[in-house]
A and B are shown apart, each in its own frame.
Chain A
Amino acid sequence: ALAVVFSPLPRLRGLLQRCWGRLERGLLPGFSGGQSPPWGPALAVQAPAFLPQPVNDTCESNGAPSLLDSIFWMAAPKSRRTIEVNRCRRRNPHKLIKVKRNIDVCPECGNLKQKHVLCGYCYAKVKAETRLIRLEIRKKEGGPFNAPTVETVILYDGEKPTEKDEGKRIIERPRKRPSWFVQN
């Protein structure tokens, strides 16, 4: 098919160049120089609308063909993919979303959680409380780089430090002790 396309091309090219020359010279004085005309040479075969510039014979067989010459060799589908083939590809197990079977109910709060992951609700609860404790620590430390050289203990409303918390730094939280934070 490619050979058939090629043989009329030099003659076509010559003819079109002569027509183009006539156009440029006088028949259409509105377009002069190298400006693009409203119409260009149109080809019925699959080829670029604008022919490449007239190359010399010495450059006919140049090394790597430019993109304009190699447009003839691009990959394109030969025939329509049937719906059966399409369905086989789209519904192949590797393209479907896998079903997760490792979802459980958290025994504390009743929300859903994955078996190997912490419960999101319980973790958010603990995270909020640690954030408030860290705010208190920040207030106590004052500035940056004041990490204490003693342990820390956290006491809630109405709690006294025991004899185990002898030399420790005490952080007060002005609320009732939450049920899930057991005092040691």
Chain B
Amino acid sequence: MRLSVAAAISHGRVHRRLGLGPRSRLDLLRNLVTALVRHERIEAPWARADEMRGYAERLIEYAKLGDTNERAMRMANFWLTEKDLIHKLFKVLAPRFQPHPGSYTRMLQIPNRNGIDRAKMAVIELKGNPFPPLIRPNRNTEKTLLNQLLKGYREDMQQAAAP
């Protein structure tokens, strides 16, 4: 049983508190989702982009259910404040992501913002967007353990086969 409620300590709490309150947080995320659907690549503070990512992916999953679905249309109506984007969502994004089972967005960290707050920023984009690709670091270099082991194995095979 909890003998004391430590209200000021937040160890282990996972839910973020953005904006002025729960309604304000939803408005913030809604604006970000609308911007993402319109521009397909946006820069935002990392925490907001992280929160928004889940909502955006669920919205696309709802859109995949189809135009005629009542729940999908109500979701799109709530989350997209600019109503011409509802057409874009159902006619462009849903067919684009139909073959993919999940993970329709990509989020990468950028150097900190130039203003006085030096906030941690992220760029979040929908996969398959028409813009030039972000130059991402390659994780499969020659120096990784797996690649070094494979290289050694390949050389062993060649030495066994050659003589």
Binding site for B on A (CB under 8 A): 107-108, 114-120, 122-123, 125-126, 129-130, 133-134, 145-154, 171, 178, 180-182
Q: Residue on A with the closest CB to B112?
A: A117
Among the stretches B25-33, B50-58, B87-95, B97-105, the one at the interface with A is B87-95
Q: Tell me how many residue pairs across A and B have CB atoms closer than 8 Å.
A: 75
Q: Is there an interface contact between B38 and A147, defined as CB atoms closer than 8 Å?
A: yes
Q: Residue on B with the closest CB to A146?
A: B84
Q: Residue on B with the closest CB to A168?
A: B130
Is residue B82 within 8 Å, beta carbon to beta carbon, of the partner chain? yes
Known: A118-B109, A145-B84. A181 touches B133 (CB 8 A): yes
Q: Is there an interface contact between B133 and A108, defined as CB atoms closer than 8 Å?
A: no
Known: A145-B84, A151-B96. A123 touches B132 (CB 8 A): no
Q: Is there an interface contact between B130 and A123, defined as CB atoms closer than 8 Å?
A: no
Cβ contacts under 8 Å, B85 to chain A: 147
Which interface residue of B38, B123, B134, B137 has the most chain A CB atoms within 10 A? B137
Is residue B39 within 8 Å, beta carbon to beta carbon, of the partner chain? yes
20 A–B contacts from the bound complex (CB under 8 Å): A117-B109, A118-B109, A118-B137, A120-B111, A123-B110, A123-B123, A129-B131, A130-B41, A145-B83, A145-B84, A147-B84, A147-B85, A148-B88, A149-B88, A150-B91, A150-B92, A151-B130, A152-B130, A180-B132, A180-B133
Smallest CB-CB A-B distances: 9 pairs = A122-B135, A181-B132, A149-B91, A152-B130, A120-B111, A147-B88, A145-B84, A117-B109, A147-B84
Q: Is there an interface contact between A149 and B111, defined as CB atoms closer than 8 Å?
A: no
* Complex CA–CA separation, A129 to B133 (angstroms): 10
Task: Looking at the assembled complex, report how far the CB atom of A108 sits from the nearest CB atom of chain B, in whole angstroms.
Answer: 6
Q: Which of B102-135 contact A (CB under 8 A)?
A: 108-111, 123, 130-135
* Complex CA–CA separation, A114 to B131 (angstroms): 24
Is residue B136 within 8 Å, beta carbon to beta carbon, of the partner chain? yes
* Complex CA–CA separation, A129 to B132 (angstroms): 8
Q: Which residue of the partner chain, among B88, B91, B92, B111, contacts A123 with CB atoms under 8 Å?
A: B111
Q: Is there an interface contact between A118 and B134, defined as CB atoms closer than 8 Å?
A: yes
Q: Which of B5-55 contact A (CB under 8 A)?
A: 38-39, 41
Cβ contacts under 8 Å, A152 to chain B: 130
Q: Which residue of the partner chain, among B87, B96, B111, B138, contacts A147 with CB atoms under 8 Å?
A: B87
* Complex CA–CA separation, A180 to B134 (angstroms): 9
Q: Residue on A with the closest CB to B129?
A: A152
